[in-house]
Structure 1
């Protein structure tokens, strides 16, 4: 599994439309609108580097309104949330 974060600068009047298009793409698990240097951050989870390259260099480039992007490939995921979810499996109360 390859994880990546793509930070996007988007035309001001296209932020919501771009976010919605990205959220529908296979391989993009989440899209956040953010404050600061970038307008959107897309979280990508794909099988391999070829899938990442296809998504970032071909499909993202076709989305109208994206002005600039920067892609960060994750080496490791450190997530307390995932650990907490793993240790609570089977402990949910039934009602």
Structure 2
């Protein structure tokens, strides 16, 4: 399994709805509210042979209320 994080910018007033939609979809292992340029930070896991880009395009960015995403790919846990 490989882990990665996605920072999510939401439409104004939609952060709680997006967070609930992520939780309901059961695709994120952790979801946090953040301050700054992005509203949410979510941690995801995919199988080693699964493409991160396709996962984000097909599972995350299709949720209503998401305006922009920024993906952080991780390489190794210490």
**What interval of TM-score do these two structures reach, taking the shorter chain for normalisation?**
0.7 to 0.9
Q: Which has the higher contact order (CA 8 A, sep 6+)?
A: 2
* Residue pair 2:34, 2:41 contacting (<8 A) in 1 also: yes
Q: How many residues align?
A: 78
* Greater alpha carbon shift after TM alignment, 6-15 vs 51-60: 51-60
Greater Rg over alpha carbons, structure: 1
* Residue pair 1:9, 1:68 contacting (<8 A) in 2 also: yes
1:12-91 pair list within 5 angstroms: 12-50=12-50, 52-78=52-78
Q: Which runs of 5+ in 2 are unaligned?
A: none
Deviations 1:31-76 (A, max 9, x none): 1000111100010112125253342011112101110001111001
What value does the CA root-mean-square deviation take over the aligned residues? 1.6
Runs of 4+ in 1 over 4 A off after TM superposition: none
TM-score computed with the length of structure 1 as normaliser = 0.72
* Residue pair 1:2, 1:49 contacting (<8 A) in 2 also: no
Q: SS at the partner of 2:29? A: strand
Q: Which runs of 5+ in 1 are unaligned?
A: 79-95
Q: Distance in 1 between matches of 2:55 and 2:24?
A: 12
